[in-house]
Each structure stands twice: as C-alpha cells, then as structure tokens.
Amino acid sequence: MIQLKAWAKINIGLKILNKRNDGFHDLETTLATINLSDFLTLEENASGTIVEAANLKIDQTDNLCYRAAELFRRRYGIARGVKIHLTKNIPVGAGLGGGSADAAAVLKGLGKLFDMFIKDEELMELAQEIGSDVPFFIRGGAAYARGKGDELSFFKLPRMELALYYPGYSISTKWAYEQYDKMLLTHEPDVDNIIPDKRKPAKKGFQLENSFERVIFQHHPDLLDVKTKLLGTGAFFVSLSGSGSCIFAVIDDSTLPGVRKYLNSIGATYFEVVTI
C-alpha cells in the first residue's frame, strides 16, 4: 500500500497569448505548489482499475486518477490491477489543479507500488497525455510555464504566505476559455518579472495580472468585490488562480489579522497556506 499527498497549485500571473490551431491556447504563467492537498491510497488489485472517491460526483472512468492508472498500466505492461482511494480536500473547479495533481500523484505512486524506478522526466512525458498541466505536478515547486502550460522552467521561489478564498462554486476552465475567445486579445502585463533577469530593470512589487479576470469578474462580480476588499485590508497582492474560482492573497504576519477579520465577517471558506 502506498499513501500520497497531491499538492494544489496557484498561478502567479497568467497571460493568454493566442489561440492555437489545435484548439488550445498559448499562455505564460508561473505555477507554484501550496500546502493544500488531496490524499490518495494505492494498493494492488486483482485486475483493472478501481477509484473510490466518496465526495466526487463523477463516474470513475472520467476521473483523472483512473485515466492516469490505465495509461501507466498500458505503457508499462502491468497486468496487476490497482485500487485507488481518493480523499478530496482541494476544491473542484477552483483553479487549483486538484485533478491534475491527483493524476500526477497516481503516476508517481504506481511506480513505487510496483517497485519500478522511473525518472521524473519520463513520467512528465507520460503525464502530457493526460493534461497540459499534469507534468508540472510530477515535480512540483515553482515553474514558469509557456506553450499550453507544458513547457516548464523550474526555479526556486521564496516562501510566500497566502490566504486562499473559495466562493463555494466551481468555474469550468473550458467555459472560461470560450468566454475569453469572444473578447479581442489585447496586450497583457509582462509576467516575466517573477523570474530574476539581469538584462531587465527590476520592477517594484507585483506587476502581474491574470487574463481570465477580465472575463470571470464580468460573470462573477462577487469575486471582484472580494478581491477589492482583500486589497483594502492591506494584502500585498490579490489574484484569481487559473480560471478560478479561488482567489489568493499574498500576506504576512502584519496583514493576516485584517485579512482574517474580513473573511470571517463574510462567513468565507478560506485556507491559510504557504508555497512549497
């Protein structure tokens, strides 16, 4: 039996560049894992793949854990089956990459379960067949992502303290891209400043934006209100993660009390997390 944690992520800045001929979008974003996780238990089964996730209302064959396990078994000719028990803590459809993190954890966990040594690079290549952001979760940490989100440059990100607000509903990434495509693509602020570059002048503070906010805040003005109020508490930076629905605020010990007071006053569901 193997027990694993699948860590969530945030997007620190996200710039949509254009729509590709294959239907995907080119983008630039910085990904960072945070210490909010789902829990998985993997054990051998007589045959086939079984996924148990009591708090998920989808068919197991639509679960990315199932797809990851079946892909792994086919790729490496594994006749034995696997039973996966998944406990969800990462909100679904919240822009935190929970499903992709779970799939990556399954790929890594099956290597351990079947006593196989598989390099991260090989697992990352396999992960691309599941989803564009799954390869990132094989390694985790922080990475600058380009292309569909699968061209990764990993780097060391200083530890950041965050307050993560969840509004209680999900937002479909597919829907968000469809809504964005209805708008004309315009110039977005540069997100390269998250990675130090001696050739560029240093910028003060966060000069980042998430392109999805232009669409999401139109349809969910409650999220814009929360962002505005969080900034008013003194949070250093507040942004939608991915296509939402979660919003995160960068904080420290001096700004945390004000952020807590506001979020508690509206009865919010929120998490106090750090980047890892």
Per-residue pLDDT at 34 exceeds 50:
yes
Across residues 96-101, what is the average pLDDT? 97
What pLDDT band is residue 220 in, cutting at 50, 70 and 90? very high
CATH level 2 (architecture), domain 161-274? 2-Layer Sandwich (3.30)
The CATH fold assigned to 2-155 is Ribosomal Protein S5; domain 2 (3.30.230)
> Residue 130 pLDDT more than 90?
yes
Res. 4: pLDDT tops 80: yes
Give dist(CA 183, CA 185) in Å, integer.
6
Domain ranges of the chain: 2-155, 161-274
Instruction: Give the pTM.
Output: 0.88
Q: Write the pLDDT tens digit of every residue in 133-169.
A: 999 999 999 999 999 888 999 999 999 999 999 999 9
Answer whether 92's CB lies under 8 Å from 82's CB.
Answer: no
Catalytic residues: 9, 133
C-alpha torsion sign, points 210, 171, 272, 140:
negative
Is there a shared CATH topology between the 2-155 domain and the 161-274 domain?
A: no
**Per-residue confidence at 108, pLDDT binned at 50, 70, 90?**
very high
Cβ atoms within 10 A of the Cβ of 39, count? 15
